[in-house]
Amino acid sequence: MLPPDPDPAVGATPNPEQLWADILSEDAAQVLPALRAMGVEDRAAILAHLRRMADETGWSDGQARRARAALALVAGDPRLASASPGG
């Protein structure tokens, strides 16, 4: 079952730059709330982009590492892992 859309316990991220800073922070305390606060469709788009960053050439080593870290955090979070298409 998908979590509520968006999670009312988590405030919305104020801007796209901050959203990406949180998601790519490698810090579960920033990554998970940022993703939980999103609607299901937005979260699916972000996760698809993170998969591309992790798997495709053209991204820096640091970007790929941070994307893989975010995906690993999502996979370990029962609320997000069950709601992650392709995850």
Each residue's pLDDT, cut to its tens digit, for the chain (87 residues) gives 344 445 444 455 458 888 999 999 999 999 999 999 888 899 999 999 999 999 999 999 999 999 999 999 999 998 887 765 554
> Which residues touch 20 (CB under 8 Å, ≥6 apart)?
none
| Model pLDDT, residue 8 | 47
Helices (H), the chain: 16-23, 28-36, 40-55, 61-75, 78-81
Name 48's Cβ contacts closer than 8 Å, sequence gap at least 6: 85, 86
Domain map of the chain by residue range? 16-81
pLDDT of residue 2: 42
